[in-house]
Amino acid sequence: MYAVVDIETTGGHANANGITEIAICLHDGKKITKRFSTLVNPRRDIPIYIRALTGITNEMVADAPPFEDVAADIYHLLHGKIFIAHNVNFDFSFVRYHLAQAGYELQCNKLCTVRLGRKILPGLPSYSLGKLCHHLGIDNESRHRAMGDCEATAELFSLLIRNDRDDHIKQALKQNSKEQVLPPHLPKKAVQDLPDTPGVYYFHDHKGKVIYVGKAKNIKKRVSSHFTGNNPGQQRQEFLKNIHQITHQICGTELIAFVLEAVEIKRLWPKYNRSLKRFEHAYGLYMFEDQRGYMRLAVDKYRKDTGAIYTCNTIFEGRTILNQLIEMFALCPKLCFIQSNAGPCTGVAKEQCACTGIEPADAYNEKVNLAIAELNNALPTFAIRDDGRTDDEHSCILVEKGKFYGMGYISHYFQVENVQQLKDYITPYPGNDYIKNLVANYAEKFPQRKVVFG
């Protein structure tokens, strides 16, 4: 037996919204055998746009039973049946969540008439319930009301059964089939064709726009994990509904995938990515000339296109480096904004005090330039040489003077002798401290894969 279900709700996700109406049509594979329908008091306001869409008002549900009062009837109608709906994961997430709140655990197989429609009746212009019914000649006088849509879905299901010459329904109900956990608009083949390799994957919406970027050690396994479980939250439900296509880039290593993900999120700014979007350099070490002609060093908040000598995540890191330069080159703590009191400079001989003008600007500036040169020389230049995408290549990530430069793939037979030669074979990418730290930590963990350039 099948249970065709349709619900009307106060919003798009179960854990913060209520059901306002539910209809269930029991179906024996040929016809409807039993109908159940009721308005439900959601115990919250129905938004005005939903009232306009469904025609269900606050006054209509005021005297309707709350969900827990009809939960037992609903559970017994659904228990042991195959749960069917148009975009089944939406209806199932609501019904399962609210049944659980009432003390009933719903476990049953599911079928989605959107997914089945795409397989059994391919090539139609739209698979929304209204347009699909219009195209197939299925009458629905009560659009956006639970029983009207439920009966239309049941008639659609009967038609799908009659036209299922390739046993798509039977295949979808197999124990190991992942068909019904997938987003309604995503073909199963799109997941089946993904590789079991490290890489970056992209979820696209109906217009082809990238809405999410992820990285993986195993692309197929990671993508599949997005579709497991029945999280009723708004973000997940909206996210799944908008996935229409998957593309990917194979990477030689998980490290390359991590770096490429960070680069792509900054480039594409996908709607559903949260982490890495806001990652920027927090602080920078700057040099400028004051009105007296003295070159001054300062740690300040990072600003784009301002020529920071060095970038870092914390002000503590920046000040630690600056203090080291002060000590090594006898720089003035006051001119470096490290010391702010009115007393004499600490750690600098009185005859070398630049802030009072005793030390000439030219002499002091020479020390500042030496300090900057030392900082640049101390910043490492190295490459990470690792596995490639194929057996006849290796991957390569280049860090130049402490900054991520880029990455790419090079033939095993190519011998790199200097940095400039390597640059000709890899792609430059914008970097940040997140990427720099990823690569530095990897190099420390696997020193045998690190190639240092003098």
Cα distances from 10 to residues 45, 46, 67, 186, in angstroms, run 8, 5, 13, 26
Buried b (16+ CB within 10 A) or exposed e, 177-187: eebbbbbbbbb
Catalytic residue among 144, 168, 226, 281: 144
Q: How far apart are CA 389 and CA 396, in angstroms?
A: 11
**Known catalytic membership, residue 168:** no
Q: How far apart are CA 98 and CA 102, in angstroms?
A: 6
- Contact assessment for residue 128 and residue 104, using Cβ atoms and an 8 Å cutoff: no
Pairing, β 199-204 against β 382-387:
unpaired
Q: Name the residue among 402, 230, 428, 236 with its Cα closest to residue 308.
A: 402
Q: Is 297 exposed, middle or buried (0-12, 13-18, 19+ CB in 10 A)?
A: buried
Pairing, β 245-250 against β 295-301:
unpaired
Cα distances from 325 to residues 289, 321, 338, 371, 413, in angstroms, run 18, 6, 12, 6, 42
DSSP three-state, residue 307: coil
Catalytic site positions: 144
